[in-house]
Structure 1
């Protein structure tokens, strides 16, 4: 076999692999949308759709999910517990779930906060309690720095710069080339069983509630656009926090923080504990032996923090 023939064969194999990957991507993404369609309503901000779900009546409570998630994070159980006394508005952050991504590389938490504020204003939300879980808590802090809501509830939220470097996946996908090559491959090839094991690590030392992964929609999180937006947002987070922390002392609104002391994803001693020394009106609840997902594993503690925030803000 000549060198030219070998090159032609290799090219054909390469094209075949690309075609197979594209077919698998399309099939997986179509299946994800079919099995987990939008559950809420859409509003349009600057020509872009924002997906949100509303339940209950009472003081407005906006809930913002964390990295690589969607509003189903809160509709699994927490929204039902709260809707008897709050109007709960769960949102898909831009580029995740069913909300359109912000244009270009605008993935800042400040940009997301402005976008979500404009979205919920369309359904009459004026001065809500804003709850953010994990990455969503950083968006909630950006919201408060722009236009203080009635109160904040931060659950396992990154708020201060952290030492060290991100996991290899995020470092590799930090560049446009890395995202363009690796994200589609991961989207096409990563097994749902691997994602389920990752979810177990996020919940550790507790375990995820039965049915949580199926409700969240693993296929939604594995879509190319969602994965690409997520890695971009995570890679850009720390420099933004370094800027934001300079203004935390101006946040005079009530802030309730809930954090497990066994959280290895966002350690309390790096984030919520030192943040308490900066916030003029903060209150921290540390949950012994609890990991990163107390809104599922210890919902009573999170609900109590929401109620305290409402009381401190004069809403109850």
Structure 2
């Protein structure tokens, strides 16, 4: 769809209260449609977006779209689909966008579910890959080599690293479609967003206490990508009435490997928001 002149891609399935799903870094709608969206579609109308610059959604900022800008355009897209006050659920970087939505667009959200969210300013530096590929010269010189020559086995190995200590389920890699992620434009957009995220989260964090909608946080205890202790255990103290669900032994991808638990959290906030 066209949202203020920007192409935004959405997958819409199911009937019931509206739920918006927002994927994480390097992702696209297919990450959410592998397991979680079909499960939710039994009792919700599920709207899954490609974030700007990723999947089939258009990038609109040369500097990288901020989490506030992404929240704004996705909220407008949801409204165009008739979802004026959806439940918003986001994973990892998508959790950051979901927090920005809840803080800056409080009249356009009914409840919030955060899945392994990047929520509290961290101390580790940006990895060298994203630091390089976020630059103009990295986009011109490095990304063409990566997008042309990365073998499938390397992609599968990278997926298992993201899922650790679990592994990517059978069929996930084919469903996810690595070539969609490995396009030069998507990788550059993703790197720019990653490079800017820390400062954006630091700016947003003081406003977390303003969030007043029912909120649940779902986080794996074995997540080494976005640590439970650093992020969600601190975040729970900053959002009034929020609940934290710890998934024992789970890594960074609960929306795939623990979809029933994530769906249960979304069902609980729907009840708390009087949507049932």
Instruction: Give the shorter-chain TM-score range.
Output: over 0.9
Residue aligning to 2:76? 118
Count how many residue pairs are aligned between Structure 1 and Structure 2.
274
TM-aligned CA deviation for residue 294 of structure 1: 1.1
Structure 2 residue corresponding to 1:207, chosen from 155, 167, 190:
167
Deviations 1:36-84, CA, capped at 9 Å, x for gaps: xxxxxxx101212111011111100000001111101111122111112
Residue 100 of structure 1 is matched in structure 2 by 58
Which residue matches 1:18?
Answer: none
User: Post-superposition shift, 1:106?
Assistant: 4.1
Are 1:71 and 2:49 an aligned pair?
Answer: no
Question: TM-score under structure 2 normalisation?
Answer: 0.97
**Partner Cα separation in structure 1 for residue 151 and residue 128 of structure 2:** 19
Q: Distance in 2 between matches of 1:180 and 1:130?
A: 36
Q: Distance in 2 between matches of 1:160 and 1:183?
A: 30
Q: What is the aligned partner in structure 2 of residue 16 from structure 1?
A: none
Equivalent residue number for residue 299 of structure 1: 259
Unaligned runs of 5+ in 1: 1-42
Tell me how large the CA RMSD over aligned residues is: 1.1
- Please tell me whether residue 49 in structure 1 is matched to residue 21 in structure 2: no
Work out the CA distance in 2 between the residues paired with 1:202 and 1:106.
23
Which structure ranks higher in relative contact order (CA pairs < 8 Å, sequence separation ≥ 6)? 2
Q: Counterpart of 1:53 in 2: which secondary structure?
A: strand
TM-score (norm 1): 0.85
The whole-number CA distance in structure 1 between the counterparts of 2:83 and 2:159 is 32
Q: Distance in 1 between matches of 2:132 and 2:78?
A: 35
1:6-25 matches, within 5 Å, as none
**Partner of residue 184, structure 1:** 144
Q: 132-141 or 172-181, which moves further after superposition?
A: 172-181
